[in-house]
Amino acid sequence: MKSNNIAQGGIVIALTLIILYSASILPVSTLTVLTIASCLIPICIIRTSVKNALLVYISSTILSFFLVKIDIAIYYGLFFGIYGIIKCLIEKLNKFAIEIILKLISFNFLLGIGYFLISSFLGINELKLPIYLLFIIAQVVFLIFDYALTLIITFYLNKIHKAS
């Protein structure tokens, strides 16, 4: 592994932890902060490699369990951190319909694991809406998130990465 990749990975880990920690101290939506943090993994993939981004994800997830609130660390570790890598691997297929199906399958798998862990370990079992309605809303929100992440990656590629 090149020292340049290690240095860039360290910077991305530090930025990720700063962003995740900011959810604890700033009066902003946790979902917004997690979305911003999820943008860093695709940028790491663009600047270095998928392998390096995976190491960044693992490192930032482990460190987040020590430095930020447990719920934020779980959300980041289960979905927002890993999704950039999943998105990269799925989008290599270049088949839009298959990509959407695979993304939804991976999202629902991660959502199921997240629901189980949060209800089991954090004791959050109260749902204000029926589970099927939450499931439908989650699919729509996920597709909006995926599209927004695509726009951010495209902006990065066209405006920032091209200039460097």
What are 57-116's pLDDT values in tens digits? 999 999 999 999 888 898 899 999 999 999 999 999 999 999 999 999 999 999 888 878
Check whether 29 has a pLDDT greater than 90.
no
- Please tell me whether residue 81 adopts helix, strand or coil conformation: coil
Select from 99, 95, 96 the least CA-distant residue to 107.
99
Cβ proximity of 107 and 64 under 8 Å? no
Tokens coding 161: 């990465």
Cβ proximity of 20 and 73 under 8 Å? yes
Select from 67, 90, 66, 91 the least CA-distant residue to 18.
67
Tokens coding 103: 């993304």
160: Cα within 13 Å, side-chain hemisphere: 8
User: pLDDT tier at 117 (50, 70, 90 boundaries)?
Assistant: confident
Tokens coding 22: 């900011």
Helical segments of 26-130, H only? 30-38, 40-47, 50-67, 70-75, 83-91, 96-117
- Please tell me whether residue 39 adopts helix, strand or coil conformation: coil
pTM value is 0.87
